[in-house]
Structure 1
Amino acid sequence: MGIKSFQGARKQQNATESTQLKVRDYMSTNLITFKPHQSVQEVVEALIKNKISGGPVVNDNQELVGIISEGDCLKQLSESRYYNMPLEHDNVEKRMATNVETIDGNMDVFDAANKFLQSKRRRFPIVENGKLIGQISQKDILIAALSLKGENWNSTTKGGS
């Protein structure tokens, strides 16, 4: 990774080209996923244990079928109390959001930042050839911006000091 940064800094005449950061370079690939048949209680336990606020739901072929979040689980919890039904009687498939917006792994991180701002979402799954390959979060975009600052913004301003 150090060599790649060095080469990027040398191409100062073409700064915009060398600094293009792609979503796929900053996405998380080691994801905690859920299955449609899992109980909401299992999801709640996984969210708490892993300190996450939600996750993608995939079928047995690793195809994205939905997203389940803390909010979905809270809604189920509220309804279970109202209808006097325990958590373990409800599953992910009944609670997950199925209208899932994805993002292209080749998208520039700055375009992805705009997409986050417009959608008010915390994360986007990345799908390739129908299969879930990763997820990008707002924090991942911030990490990409910091790496750009460290590698390129400083290198173009050295001459002025």
Structure 2
Amino acid sequence: MTKNVVSITPDRSIAEMAETMQKFRVSGLPVIDASGRLVGLVTEGDCLRRTEIGTASTRSGWRWYLASTEMLAGEYIRSHGRKVADVMTRDLITIGEETDLDEIVHLMEKHQVKRLPVVRDGAVIGIVSRANLVQQLATLARGGGNGREDDAVIREKVRAELGKLPWMAIEFVNPTVKDGVVDLWGSFTAYQQDQAAVVAAENVPGVKEVRSHLAWVDPVSGLVVYSPDEEEQYLPAERVS
């Protein structure tokens, strides 16, 4: 799971929600109340039908007459509401930190969701997304066999080492470890941050190799400038040499 979870409160505006998603390059945010408890979840899907961009749901003719008053009122609130509380999903599917991967996949498929909050005593301690599962699958496919128990310890040490770098946006980096080999996933927004992350991981005891899959994302446009896992790479002049 991703432990550094970016969240938002239900009283924040829709504009603030969108800005937070863009800033941290996430597609979903747990909604946390003043007591720190999980009360909802907002995703990119909640931004699709909005009056500001002219995509609010419209019903005409017989579709309007067949829709219940409750349904029409709900659609209006979700497309015109100004607060996160107006659009967030309240009926949540959550998991615990000991939930098996098979059960996680089953819940994602059954409920057609892309992410599941990990909850302990009502508080969010992490989130598991489809991206996390794909990253782990890629790591296992490269390494083969079953991971060693101390891989989890190495992963936490790598995260701790990255956390020592105040200028490193570690919330964008997710390390996975298989047989002592570290794969770094996610993105970076400044020149050489990716190499610094590799160096930090290489200095962790027990690490045999570090492989970077970090994509360089333009912090202004949000576009991927460079991705080592893509055939096409768009590099600035100073990186070509």
Answer with 136-145 or 123-132: which moved more.
136-145
Distance in 1 of aligned mates of 2:125 and 2:116: 11
Q: CA deviation at 1:53?
A: 1.5
Deviations 1:30-83 (A, max 9, x none): 1110101100010111122222212100012221000111222233x227867x
1:96 to 2:88 alignment: yes
**1:146 is matched with which residue?**
138
- Count of aligned residue pairs for this structure pair: 124
RMSD over aligned Cα, in angstroms? Answer: 2.7
**2:101 is matched with which residue?**
109
- Structure 1 vs Structure 2: percent identity of aligned residues? 28
**2:185 is matched with which residue?**
none
1:126 to 2:126 alignment: no
**1:3 is matched with which residue?**
none
Q: Name the SS for the 2:19 alignment partner.
A: helix
Q: CA deviation at 1:121?
A: 0.7
Q: Give the structure-1-normalised TM-score.
A: 0.66
1:66 to 2:40 alignment: yes
Q: Name the SS for the 2:132 alignment partner.
A: helix
Deviations 1:74-125 (A, max 9, x none): 33x227867xxxx997111111110111012211213312222222211000
Distance in 1 of aligned mates of 2:86 and 2:14: 9
Distance in 2 of aligned mates of 1:66 and 1:123: 13
Greater strand share, 1 or 2? Answer: 2
**1:48 is matched with which residue?**
22
C-alpha change, 1:88 and 1:116, in structure 2 (3 Å) is closer
1:137 to 2:129 alignment: yes
Gaps of 5+ in 2: 57-78, 148-241
Greater helix share, 1 or 2? Answer: 1
C-alpha change, 1:90 and 1:80, in structure 2 (3 Å) is farther
